[in-house]
């Protein structure tokens, strides 16, 4: 059964990202603040930002960069990131955003694979970028350091050249805007080919449900190099003419202080930040009454944890769902729907269809007349779905079928109201004596224990070589809790096949910059 969005299709303009976001900027809006640096308080207006974007585009064009070229951007969140990101797009080139935590070897691999001809970084990240650029064959004079470094051009140098933005023409439906890297459903990280139309579509689709206004102040703590930060924080906020407060990294004390000082209204977070907001005593020391909405994404957020955040803040707490391969949003909770349970990722965006497919026999799972459906793999189709993986036809064919459906690799259910719930990753389900055990379910339960600060669950072999649920647990300071007591506590609350059979206490759960648990790292232990 094909499941359709409850919303009518929205118009998707045949425009570049630059023209879509900035083409209708009014004179009054030019004077509004676009970006605030949370550390220094420095501000950049929309007019100043647009001028910087044009000058970056002109400087790149003067260096021969244009359509068909790829430029790597490797930087923490800042006004400079925004100007360079959109300057590259304005020049008609393609941006490949690089994780700021990557090593030189990882950067080199991405730059080679993407075919990057220039790279932009910041001085704290220069050692890793220098190693990566050298491995990819880029000379120092093709590496720009935003805040300056010997032997490298800086952003100030590019702006001072005052070259006019070039006149470029391309088809937004086919011209690649960005090449973020994702492991997809399996394997090593691959370049996800997203066109200008993909990005424009997803902003237009998302604004129907995620309502931002010029009065909103958005805390931009999630990295812009990740597709969630790129589309939902950066581009969505710019289109709405909201104010972005940027953070170079997440530090809870600084974050809470800036949210209070800047009167942030909208927090886009990932589950690790939601966990801190729910449990950390520092939260009570700040006036956070300006916050009206907290939206969690990038990984599943348990309903009980969302309830705890909502109770503490007195704010609306919702979540959404997406993948890099979908630019990224496919599901969100509409701004006017406070009736959906907080464990839901919401409903399907306009212009999209999806299917729930039983992974065992391939049959379609229908929306039930009442209650909840059976779980199935979520397949999605829409104008925001990627072109494919760069140079990886086989991986593309495994993920995108002939009908244009993206096989997400996520297991979901849908209720009679069309609200979706992500249960787990297809490849992460633990098989215990033939029974399926979703790690996310056990993780959510463990987080309700008063002595547990954080937790992750993976499949691990027992002495007989059979897969069993193993919990890696971070205890609260001064907690006195044994593995045996914790396993008994879980056993009282789950079916027998879902019991945690092994426990390891660790200092921190390894997570990606977007908040996803790095289960492969835990399995390696």
Which whole-number Å values give the CA distances from 517 to 427, 443, 458, in the listed order? 14, 11, 10
Residue 37's DSSP bridge partners are 246
Supply 319's token pair: 């979540």
503 occurs within a structural domain? yes
- pLDDT one-digit tens code per residue, 162-194: 999 999 999 999 999 999 998 655 556 799 999
488 occurs within a structural domain? yes
- pLDDT one-digit tens code per residue, 233-277: 999 999 999 999 999 999 999 999 999 999 999 999 988 888 889
456 occurs within a structural domain? yes
469 occurs within a structural domain? yes
463: domain CATH number? 3.30.300.30
Q: Which domain holds residue 477?
A: 430-523
194's CB contacts (< 8 A; 6+ apart) are: 176, 177, 178, 179, 180, 327, 386, 387
Given a cut of 90, is residue 329 above it in pLDDT? Answer: yes
CA atoms within 13 A on the CB side of 262: 32
Given a cut of 60, is residue 399 above it in pLDDT? Answer: yes
Of 181, 175, 220, 222, residue with least CA distance to 199: 175
**Can you give the pLDDT at residue 8?**
97
- State residue 388 phi and psi, 5-degree precision: 155, -175
Give the integer Cα–Cα distance in Å for 217 and 132: 36
Give the integer Cα–Cα distance in Å for 181 and 388: 12
Which whole-number Å values give the CA distances from 140 to 68, 94, 120, 145, 503, in the listed order? 22, 20, 11, 10, 49
509 occurs within a structural domain? yes
Given a cut of 90, is residue 297 above it in pLDDT? Answer: no
**Residues for the chain: how many in total?**
525
- Domain count of the fold of the chain: 1
460 occurs within a structural domain? yes
Given a cut of 90, is residue 279 above it in pLDDT? Answer: no
Give the integer Cα–Cα distance in Å for 24 and 236: 15
363 occurs within a structural domain? no
206 occurs within a structural domain? no
């Amino acid at each position: 059964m094909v499941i359709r969005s409850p919303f009518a299709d929205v118009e998707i303009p045949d425009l570049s990202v630059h023209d879509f976001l900035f083409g209708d900027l009014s004179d009054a809006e030019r004077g509004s603040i676009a970006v605030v640096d949370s550390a220094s308080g420095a501000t950049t207006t929309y007019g100043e930002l647009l001028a910087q974007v044009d000058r970056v585009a002109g400087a790149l064009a003067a260096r021969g960069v244009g359509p068909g070229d790829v430029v790597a951007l490797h930087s923490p969140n800042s006004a400079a990131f925004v100007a360079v990101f959109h300057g590259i797009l304005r020049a008609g080139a393609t941006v490949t955003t690089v994780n700021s935590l990557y090593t030189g070897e990882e950067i080199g691999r991405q730059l080679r694979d993407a075919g990057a001809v220039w790279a932009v970084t910041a001085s704290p990240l220069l050692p890793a970028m220098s190693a990566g650029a050298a491995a990819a064959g880029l000379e120092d004079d093709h590496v720009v350091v935003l805040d300056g470094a010997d032997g490298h051009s800086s952003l100030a140098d590019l702006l001072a050249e005052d070259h006019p933005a070039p006149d470029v023409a391309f088809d937004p439906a086919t011209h690649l805007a960005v090449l973020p890297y994702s492991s997809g459903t399996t394997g090593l990280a691959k370049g996800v080919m997203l066109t200008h139309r993909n990005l424009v579509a997803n902003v237009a689709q998302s604004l129907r449900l995620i309502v931002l206004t010029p009065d909103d102040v958005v805390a931009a703590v999630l990295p812009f190099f990740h597709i969630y930060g790129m589309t939902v924080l950066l581009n969505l906020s710019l289109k709405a003419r909201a104010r972005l407060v940027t953070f170079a990294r997440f530090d809870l004390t600084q974050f809470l202080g800036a949210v209070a000082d800047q009167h942030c209204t909208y927090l886009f977070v990932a589950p690790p930040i939601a966990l801190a907001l729910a449990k950390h005593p520092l939260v009570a020391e700040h006036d956070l009454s300006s916050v009206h909405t907290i939206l969690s994404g990038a990984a599943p957020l348990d309903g009980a944890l969302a309830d705890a955040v909502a109770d503490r803040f007195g704010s609306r707490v919702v979540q959404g769902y997406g993948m890099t391969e979908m630019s990224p949003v496919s599901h969100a909770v509409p701004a006017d729907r406070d009736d959906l349970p907080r464990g839901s990722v919401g409903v399907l965006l306009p212009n999209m269809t999806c299917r729930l497919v039983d992974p065992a026999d391939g049959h379609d799972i229908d929306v039930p007349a009442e209650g909840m459906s059976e779980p199935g793999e979520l397949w999605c189709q829409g104008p925001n779905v990627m072109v494919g993986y760069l140079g990886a036809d086989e991986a593309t064919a495994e993920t995108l079928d002939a009908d244009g459906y993206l096989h997400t690799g996520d297991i979901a259910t849908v209720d009679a109201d069309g609200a979706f719930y992500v249960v787990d990753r297809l490849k992460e389900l633990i098989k215990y004596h033939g029974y399926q055990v979703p790690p996310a379910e056990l993780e959510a339960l463990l987080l309700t224990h008063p002595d547990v600060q954080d937790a992750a669950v993976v499949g691990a072999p027992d002495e007989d070589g059979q897969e069993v649920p193993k919990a890696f647990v971070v205890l609260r300071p001064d907690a006195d809790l044994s593995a045996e007591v914790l396993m008994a506590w879980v056993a009282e609350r789950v079916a027998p096949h879902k019991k945690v059979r092994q426990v390891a206490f660790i200092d921190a759960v390894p997570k990606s910059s977007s908040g996803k648990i790095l289960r492969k790292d835990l399995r390696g232990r």
